Amino acid sequence: MKDIFKSELNYIMDKRVREAAGELIDMLPEYFFRVPASSTGKYHPKCSNVEGGLVNHTKIAVRYAKELMSNDILFNNFSKHDQDMIILALILHDGFKHGLEEEKYVRFDHPMISANFVKEEGESVGLTKEECDTLYELISSHMGIFNTSTYSDVVLPLPKNSMQKFVHMCDDLASKKFINVEFVNNNIVE
Ligand SMILES: [Fe+2]
């Protein structure tokens, strides 16, 4: 399944991290590649509320990161390695949005499930312990200010450092209903 993220994987500069990313994508649940980004249709633009829409949403979030980090006067404070971590965190951030086994609705605590997945599997595919910790923090805090829910007792961690805030920003922008991106077969139309 990693081929669906071929372009996004190529944004990762370190070959070891890129290969680990491919292996982690291949471990994501089957439904991730099929479901829309919003289980109710209430959130997310039209392009992400179709079959395969969660992949589209993921691609938009990654693309924002890539575009913004490539702009030297905007976000030039991230090292190459930071940038790889940000891209990988965004690829995986919603990987378990409906739980370990597919549930009907989005799980509010999905950031913790995806973050735990990376912590548990990351080292077996060649990531370092430090990288797994960084990814855990980036993924678990990706909801930003939307860290509580009336449907759950879980309080998600808030983004604290600039990398964590950046990941949240890219996810948040990709979720806005007013920014609709054209896709053909899960590929952004340029
Ligand atoms: Fe997301």
pLDDT tens for 105-124 read: 899 999 999 999 999 999 99
**Residue 186 is assigned to a structural domain of this protein:** no
Q: What is the pLDDT of residue 76?
A: 80
Q: Helix or strand or coil: residue 153?
A: coil
- Confidence (pLDDT) at 183: 97
Residues near 82 by beta carbon (within 8 Å), at least 6 away in sequence: 163
Ligand 1 centre from 143 Cα, in Å?
Answer: 8
Domain annotation covers residue 187: no
Residue 126 alpha carbon to ligand 1 centre in Å:
25
- Residues 127 and 123: their CA atoms lie apart, in Å, by 5
pTM as predicted: 0.97
Query: Looking at residue 71, what is its pLDDT?
Result: 92
Give the chain's radius of gyration (CA, Å): 15
Ligand 1 centre and the CA of 130: distance in Å? 23
SS3 15: helix
Is the pLDDT at 41 greater than 90, yes or no? no
Give distance in angstroms: CA of 61 to centre of ligand 1: 7
Give how many domains the chain has, as a whole number.
Answer: 1
Domain membership of residue 188 (yes or no) is no
Domain annotation covers residue 189: no
Within-domain flag for 54: yes
Domain assignment present for 24:
yes
In-domain check, residue 105: yes
pLDDT bucket at 4, cuts 50 / 70 / 90: very high
Query: What is the CA(172)–ligand 1 centre distance, in A?
Result: 7
Q: Which of 36, 182, 22, 144 is nearest to 87 (CA)?
A: 22
Cα dihedral 32, 34, 36, 38, rounded to 10, equals -30
Q: How far does the centroid of ligand 1 lie from the alpha carbon of residue 28, in Å?
A: 15
Q: Which band of pLDDT confidence, cut at 50, 70 and 90, is reported for residue 104?
A: very high
Is residue 90 within 8 Å of residue 171, measured between CB atoms? yes
Tell me how far the alpha carbon of residue 110 lies from the centroid of ligand 1, in angstroms: 10
Instruction: Give domain status of residue 63, yes or no.
Output: yes
Domain that holds residue 34: 2-181
Question: Bridge-partner residues for 188, per DSSP?
Answer: 183
